[in-house]
Amino acid sequence: LKRRQMLLGMGAVAMSSSAMSSSPMTLSAHPTAWFPSDVANAGFAADLAARLDKAIAEKRIWNVHGLVVLQNEKLVIERYFEGQDRARGIGDIGRIKFTADTLHDLRSCSKSIVALLYGIALQQGKVPAPEAPLLSMFPEYADLAARDGHTRLTIHHALSMTMGTDWDESSLPYGNPRNSETAMDNASDRYRYILERPIIEAPGTRWTYCGGATALLARLIAKGSGQSLHQFARENLFEPLGMGPTEWASGPDGEPFAASGARMSVRDLARIGLMLLRGGKAEDRQIVPAEWIARCTTPIVSADELRRFGYQWFVLDVAFGTPKGWAVGRLERMWMAQGEGGQRLFVIPALQLVIALTAGNYGADDQWIPPTRVLREIVLASVP
């Protein structure tokens, strides 16, 4: 109840503030202030904001809450809107007038953040290497070692979501108690629930979307660091990046919703993307090892016909530019953190481009359309 009141209070504060800023800005190396600049000088078509407004007016894009676009460390566009929102573990929190300071659920973008935190903890010697056996890191569940195939599991399989266990959180809505993530949250011991899932195919052979894998990684971070997941994130990632307030929702058992519980402003989500473009640095400080970012964003397994998966990050190629004949224009590699409801962090290294987006299309079958159109029809269509 206290957290719900706090969230609603933040919404009330947000509703009394300015809801929109479309002035392009230049981002400092370690952003503590955001300053106006010129869209054309940032390399974008001058009608970028007009394209966005037109798409919203025509309802081709709907229920977007916040958008930040950076290129070459310049803030090209920043916009905020009003809409219904939800918070993980709470539910509906009402109609919010979003601003630069409003916290927003990231949902499964949280998974990609956990991967970055694992790389930091690995460098600090607080978690095992990806090649380490998974089950041996959880001696409290030693009885599960007798189960067929479980000793073959490694940390790598959890990082890449290739554990091969019986897990289904894609074909069933999260409101269904048979959804594997929902069942995990409702279990008396979420980690035992994850680890005792039967292995139904060889680990490492196929990608299966699995919030339980992320939960195991977060548990190893907490065990190794002696801190909660959020405390470790604040100390080692969020505060070094100059972020404002953040939250990480937890279940009734006090354990974090590691795969879907992070909350932050869309600006701060963009800071993470900017840090990735800088090879893990903020100012002159190395926050995440550059080699770990490379590992997270190197495709390991196909997720579907378009997306590939590294360590808790999606990787895909995007086309843009003016096509000629049958050509599709230019193709570039993109890294993506993706969350339910339309939360996205797109990073395109070759363009030095970051797109951070929050939205409120939770549970909708067409929730993927608004972020895809923002990416393709608004932002990439404005790149010469």
Q: What tens digit of pLDDT does each residue of 48-60 get? A: 999 999 999 999 9
What six digits make up the tokens of 113?
A: 């953040």
pLDDT at 122: 98
Distance CA 82, CA 97 (A): 4
Dist. CA 56–CA 223, nearest whole Å: 46
Question: What is the bridge-based pairing of β-strands 314-320 and 301-302?
Answer: unpaired
- Segment 344-377, tens digit of pLDDT: 999 999 999 999 999 999 999 999 999 999 999 9
* Six token digits for residue 150: 């479980």
Question: For position 384, what pLDDT does the model report?
Answer: 72
Give the Å distances, CA to CA, from 271 to 23, 44, 268: 18, 20, 5
| Cβ neighbour number for residue 350 with a 10 Å cutoff | 10
Contact 261, 108 (CB under 8 A): no
Contacts of 225 (CB under 8 A, 6+ apart): 121, 124, 126, 232
* Cβ 320 vs Cβ 310: under 8 Å: no
Q: Which of the residues in the chain have pLDDT under 70?
A: 1-42, 322-328
* Separation of alpha carbons 128 and 134, rounded Å: 9
Residue 375 DSSP SS3: helix
Give the helix/strand (H/E) hosting 335. strand 330-339
User: Do 232 and 319 form a contact (C-beta atoms < 8 A)?
Assistant: no
Find out whether 97 and 19 touch, Cβ atoms under 8 Å. Answer: yes
pLDDT at residue 28, rounded to an integer: 47
pLDDT computed for residue 282 by the predictor? 93
Residue 316, strand partner residues: 334
Q: Closest Cα partner for 344 from 335, 352, 331, 353?
A: 335
Residue that has been written with the tokens 């573990």 in this structure: 89
